[in-house]
Amino acid sequence: MAAEYWDRYARERRSRRRFLGGAVATGAGAAGLALVGCGDDDDDDATPKSGLATNTPAPNATPTPTDPYAGAKRGGTYKADQAGDPPTIDPYGNLSFLTKGFSAFIYSRLFKYNAGAGVKKSDLLPVGDLAESSEASPDGLTWTIKLRKDAKFHNVAPVNGRAVTSDDVKFSWGRATAEANTNRSQLAFVDKVEYPDASTVKFTLKAPNAAFLDVLADANLLWIMPTESKGKFNPAQQAIGSGPWMLDSYQPSVVIKYKKNPAWHVPGFPLMDAIESAIIPEYANRLAQFQAGNTDVSGVTAEDIVSVKKAMANINLYGEVSQLLSMVFFDPDPASPWAKDPRVKQAVSMAIDRAGLMDLGYNVKKLKAEGLAVSERWNNLIPAGMERFWLDPTGSAQGETKKYFEYNVKEAKALLAAAGFANGFETVYQYTANRYGAAFNAIAEAHIGFLNEIGIKTTTDVQDYASKYVTQTFVGNFKGIAFGYETPFPEGGSYPNRMFTENASNHSKIVDAELAALATKQQQELDPAKRKEMFFEIQRKNAAKMHYVPSNAGAGTGWTAFQAWVKNIDVATVPGSYGGGTETAPYRWLDK
């Protein structure tokens, strides 16, 4: 079984090589700029939230008879926006998506996602970035990765364009797993890393891991920095990587300017000469800049999308469902009503009008009436945007537990009564309103009405994100019922691992041996079909007990508007991967 799994990756790599070869010959490539501002604190309702949106090349797509880059124009400066500064430009200096998004322009990873034209979201898989090849041992415990010989760092002192070697990987792995790097827990499944020669890296895992290449492609984790970052220059002030773009200048709170790396290891790309990403915190200002033609791209809310399209007939719209799971979760107090009887959680789920929430947060009815293609998929425990593992909660595959996703106040009240709470109960309902934007806030408020309707009398605690929500509630230190987003992991396995195994961020401190075992087992299952079925089983089992009640903030379509002259916009990478600077930006072009 392991062999089949690794064969699949090998096929991916081969088809990628074929594609790239063709691309060089034809001047082709693929796709778009990835968002820097996705995760923008205040505009989650406009998915790729900022200017550098999330489209990608088609590296491993089956080559089509029509070369999508035949008419591609080179040159020009792409003007984008983003909502905030990266807290630091050192890729290991902060967990912020703004730092990771910035890093994707400058730095390479060992692997990246194969997003691009012709690649369905459900087929998004890791392919080599700096890795030229990878081989796994039959037991899946050892991975040998060969680095590309043609990969070089930017030609900037003190690195001066030298080749990327395994020493750089060793240095970067050290930073990724340093004690102060809180992401190191994501890499704890790696037993040891060896560096037999300058172009070989050998990973030994503690147990087989189906998501290993996804981890290496995860833009949150392993960016390859030059060893000179230690002592010869300060990576918090100067960014030198081997990625498609070089840092031209960074004026905090004003603009980040990138210029293309002419020696990038994907020959012929990037197509554009430069990118300027203006830092504009206010949505109204970003939209006005786009309307005035000052920027080439901007995230637009579902509320504004129709009026913007009407006022600017020539623009192109790109809609995408983010990989964002919102959930109602419960305190771990054994004396709480939901601990006494699990039917309370089922009742809460049935009190939620999910279709109504889609309309409230994402303007679904109006946009459909205007002829726009909007998603109506609901979040399950796996977010609706993660098609690779998502189980449709309204579909027959959900089985009997499908009923717990239905809006049924009468049945919800009956469940509460059966649990011994015929008159309801009082509790605290908490969420944060200063981080996730208007759609989230509207949906969070709507939950109050839903809970009240079935007799759960709530005292609302609207929490500050920084001082209370993320540091207390999110990690399970709270009383009552909470609502929030889960971290947008690019790989599905992280969701059950985080939520059902013993770890600091098991938000409700769920102890469910069956689900914990499944969470661990899926990570080690190397057969994609079997693994997918395990994901479905996890979603069904969660629904049966509603440990976490999925809600629809994050499930709707987010919109990005592009000026007519921006080409190659309609491909998508992994939402939440933050890797678009590498995966999409080099392949977009301007046709002015």
Partner 1 sequence: MQRYILRRLLLMIPTLLGVSFVVFVIVRAVPGDVVDLIAGDFGAADPATKDAIRKEFGLEGNIISQYIRWLGDIVQFDLGKSLISGRTVTSELSNRLPVTFQLGLMAIFFSLLIAVPIGIISAIRQDTWADFVGRSFAIGLLAAPGFWLAILLISMAGRYFTWGVPPTTYVEFTDNPIGNLKLMLVPSLILGGGLSGSVMRFTRSTMLETLRQDYIRTAWSKGLQERVIIVRHAMRNALIPVVTVVGLQLPILVGGTVIIESVYSIPGMGRYYIAAIDSKDYPVIQGINIIVATVVVFSNLGVDLLYSVIDPRIRYS
**Helix intervals (H) in 430-527:** 438-453, 494-500, 513-524
Select from 89-97, 203-211, 342-350, 408-416 the region that touches partner 1 (CB under 8 A).
89-97
Q: Please tell me whether residue 253 binds partner 1 under the rule CB under 8 A.
A: yes
Which listed residue (251, 420, 530, 591) binds partner 1 by CB under 8 A?
A: 251
Q: 85-98 burial, b if ≥16 CB within 10 A, otherwise e?
A: bbebbbbbbeebbb
Nearer to partner 1, 33 or 280 (CB): 280
Contact between 84 and 279 under an 8 Å Cβ cutoff? The reply is: yes
Residue 36 within binding range of partner 1, rule CB under 8 A: no
Determine the straight-line distance between the first and last CA of the chain, rounded to whole angstroms. 51
Is 90 a binder of partner 1 (CB under 8 A)? yes
CB of 561 to partner 1, least distance (A): 12
- Of 196 and 293, which has the nearer Cβ to partner 1? 293
Q: Smallest distance from the beta carbon of 424 to partner 1, in angstroms? A: 29
The answer to whether 440 contacts partner 1 (rule: CB under 8 A) is: no
Q: Binder to partner 1 among 311, 397, 517, 564 (CB under 8 A)?
A: 311
Residue 528 preceded by cis peptide, ω within 30: no
501 makes contact with partner 1 (CB under 8 A): no
- Cα–Cα distance for residue pair 492/575, rounded to 1 Å: 12
Which amino acid is present at 309? K
| C-alpha dist (Å) from residue 459 to 10, 336, 448, 479 | 55, 15, 9, 11
Cβ closer to partner 1: 283 or 390? 283
- The span from the CA of 289 to the CA of 292, in Å, is 5
Minimum CB distance to partner 1, residue 92 (Å): 11
Size of the site for partner 1 (CB under 8 A): 57
- To partner 1, the closest distance from the beta carbon of 184 in angstroms equals 8
Return the half-sphere exposure (C-beta side, CA atoms, 13 A cut-off) of residue 92: 24
Strands (DSSP E) contained in 238-294 are 245-251, 255-260, 274-279
Whether 590 contacts 116, CB under 8 Å: no
Task: Provide the β-strand partners of residue 163.
Answer: 152
Report the b/e string of 407-439 with b at 16+ CB within 10 A: bbeebbbbbbbebebeebbebebbbbbebbbbb
By CB under 8 A, tell whether 396 contacts partner 1. no
* Closest approach of partner 1 to the CB of residue 397, in Å: 31
Q: How far is the C-alpha of 28 from the C-alpha of 543, rounded, in Å?
A: 46
Nearer to partner 1, 88 or 452 (CB): 88
The least distance separating partner 1 from the CB of residue 371, rounded to whole angstroms, comes to 22
* Minimal distance, residue 210 CB to partner 1, in Å: 20
Which residues, numbered 267-296, are part of the site for partner 1 (CB under 8 A)? 278-282, 284-285, 287-295
Interface positions, 470-499, toward partner 1 (CB under 8 A): 470-472, 474-475, 487
Q: Contact between 230 and partner 1 (CB under 8 A)?
A: no
**112 — phi, psi (to 5°)?**
-145, 175
Determine which residue in the list 88, 142, 336, 452 makes contact with partner 1, applying CB under 8 A: 88
Q: How far is the CB of 185 from partner 1 (least distance, A)?
A: 5
- Residue carrying the six token digits 């934007």: 437
Which residues contact partner 1 (rule: CB under 8 A)?
41, 79, 81, 84-85, 87-88, 90, 93-95, 179-180, 182-186, 236-237, 251-255, 278-282, 284-285, 287-295, 307, 311, 434, 464-468, 470-472, 474-475, 487, 504-505
